[in-house]
Amino acid sequence: MTERDIVTRVVSQGGDPGNVTAKAVMSSPLHVVAPNMTLMEAMHLMDKLNLRRLGVLYKRQLVGVISDRNIIRLVPTIVEIMKEQQEINNVSSVRGPSITGYCDRCESYSNNLRYVEGEFLCSDCRME
């Protein structure tokens, strides 16, 4: 049962939420997926079926719910991971003296590490 179910099926029709059962207003059926379904597969299914939520079923028990809000919260992290992967793939394919990784001194991620006196340093630390 969602907020929208309550608003559209109870409040907007003048019903008393204290006298209405969840079964009477809940959206049904709940579409469910297995816990091993990938996030991408779940997103495609939600899009295809125009769903805002998917139940997660394990051993015939509801163990969780994936919502469109959960996915929206993850998008910035997913985009950042994809950018980093792209940077790593682009930089590692280029031959040369600089490498990608974490600076030994400041521990910042850099696409331009150079080996200086036994350490891999970013451009800022090399200037110090």
pLDDT of residue 94: 39
Q: What is the pLDDT of residues 32-64, one digit of tens each?
A: 999 999 888 998 999 999 999 999 999 999 999
Q: What is the pLDDT of residues 83-120, one digit of tens each?
A: 888 777 665 443 446 688 888 999 888 888 888 888 88
Token digits for 102? 């974490």
Q: What is the pLDDT of residues 56-92, one digit of tens each?
A: 999 999 999 999 998 888 888 888 888 888 777 665 4
- What are φ and ψ of residue 96, in 5° steps? 160, 180
Rounded Cα–Cα distance for residues 99 and 121 (Å): 10
pLDDT of residue 115: 84
Sequence-ordered strand ranges (E) for the chain: 32-33, 53-58, 61-67, 99-102, 109-116, 119-121
